[in-house]
Amino acid sequence: MKGLFISFEGIEGTGKTTQARLLAEYLKARGQDVLLTEEPGGTQIGKRIREVLLNVEHREMGSLTELLLYNASRAQHIHELILPALKAGKVVITDRFSDSTTAYQGYGRGIDLKLLKSLDNIATGGFRPDLTCLLDLDAETGLRRNRGANKIDRLELEEIDFHKRVKDGFLKLAEKEHGRIRVIDASGNVNDIQNRIRETVEGFLKSSIN
């Protein structure tokens, strides 16, 4: 049986992590075998890379180093965790995947999109989720939510314009790939957002059966 690969994307403070967990619980309760994972991270090696990437003391990190580390984490993630789980017929839900690199390192940092694409080809071979839930929220609200929760990492220290460029980058991606990337309003309370996500996933599952 072929598995199903779903990613969650969005700027800081959209509630991706909570929403990915709630979707995983929902699908598990419906008898699905679910693997919930994240980027950067997922594997032992990925978790170490995550620590290097997000450590607020690493202010000297160059954009290219950052880009290569995200790709390194992803290559390991696909090889060690995602592909084996999909082959075993599982539903894999990841909190971030390659769209984050395009949005943050491409639109946010301004690294050439062609360069990103060629590196992505090396790291992923063009492998993409079946469905991407893009949680959309304005940058000010997102950052306020995260700061309220005392959740600060190296990228969150960036100025507001950086996060606005990232948000617009995600929306541009969603326009280009509207079949895969579904934009979900991430304002309101946790349950409302989760209901929107479930509707989107159910709709996707129905349309892929037909």
Residues that bind ligand TMP (CB under 6 A): 12, 38-40, 70, 95-96, 100-101, 104-105, 153, 155-156
Judged by CB, which is closer to ligand TMP: 9, or 86?
Answer: 9
Judged by CB, which is closer to ligand TMP: 136, or 156?
Answer: 156
Judged by CB, which is closer to ligand TMP: 76, or 105?
Answer: 105
Shortest Å distance, C-beta 70 to ligand TMP? 4
Shortest Å distance, C-beta 194 to ligand TMP? 18
Judged by CB, which is closer to ligand TMP: 34, or 38?
Answer: 38
Query: 41 φ, ψ to 5°?
Result: 140, -140
Shortest Å distance, C-beta 196 to ligand TMP? 20
Give the separation between CA 86 and CA 157, rounded to whole angstroms. Answer: 35
Shortest Å distance, C-beta 27 to ligand TMP? 21
Shortest Å distance, C-beta 119 to ligand TMP? 11
Residue number of the CB atom closest to ligand TMP? 104
* Alpha carbon distances (Å) from 122 to 82, 175, 202: 17, 25, 33
Among 200, 85, 66, 71, which residue's Cα sits nearest to residue 133? 200
| Rg of the chain over all Cα atoms, to the nearest angstrom | 16
Alpha helix segments (H runs only) across 11-58: 16-29, 44-54
Judged by CB, which is closer to ligand TMP: 39, or 136?
Answer: 39
Residues paired with 5 in a beta bridge = 92
Give the separation between CA 148 and CA 156, rounded to whole angstroms. Answer: 13
